Amino acid sequence: MTYVVTDACIKCKYMDCVEVCPVDCFYEGENMLVINPSECIDCGVCEPECPAEAILPDTENGLEKWLELNTKFSAEWPNITAAKEAPADADEHKGEEGKFEKYFSAEPGEGD
Ligand code: SF4
Ligand code: SF4
């Protein structure tokens, strides 16, 4: 099992999660983060830290799409281990529906 980041992270990207991960397995895209499922040790400490409730254990139903996306993009995007400033409009996009369809970007972020 692993934890995965879902579309609730898109355009929120608060990054509280990266500060607590003991194995630094978060990777940064242009407007969301993902977890590398083969590096995640399932400790669960990041889940309650996310203000957008974007992080879920893959044992929950219906998360196959996100597991696939986390696996694919963690291999392409740069590692991120320290929080930066969240986007200025992060709160406006918190809880918004359909963010994947509206905003997902496959472009990498800057990483550390
Ligand atoms: S804390 Fe949540 S919203 Fe912020 S970057 Fe991590 S997963 Fe995304
Ligand atoms: S569950 Fe633990 S190891 Fe996995 S991403 Fe979260 S903090 Fe990192």
Q: The CATH number of the domain where 37 resides is what?
A: 3.30.70.20
Residue 18 contacts residue 39 (beta carbons within 8 Å): no
Q: Provide the domain limits for residue 44.
A: 3-82
Q: How many CA atoms lie within 13 A of 24 on its CB side?
A: 8
CB 73 within 8 A of CB 106: yes
Ligand 1 pocket, 33 CB below 6 A? yes
| 3, 13, 110: residue to mutate for ligand 1 pocket, most atoms within 8 A of CB | 13
Q: Quick check: is 71 in a domain? A: yes
Q: How many domains are there within the chain?
A: 1
Each residue's pLDDT tens digit, 64-77: 999 999 999 999 99
Domain membership of residue 65 (yes or no) is: yes
Say if ligand 2 is within 6 A of residue 45 CB.
yes
Q: First and final CA of the chain: distance in angstroms?
A: 26
**Structure-block tokens of residue 6:** 């879902």
**Atom from ligand 2 closest to the CA of residue 39:** 3
Whether 97 is covered by a domain: the verdict is no
For residue 108, being part of any structural domain is answered with no
Check residue 62 and give its pLDDT.
Answer: 94
Spans of the chain, pLDDT less than 50: none
- Name which of 49, 29, 17 is nearest 99 in CA terms: 29
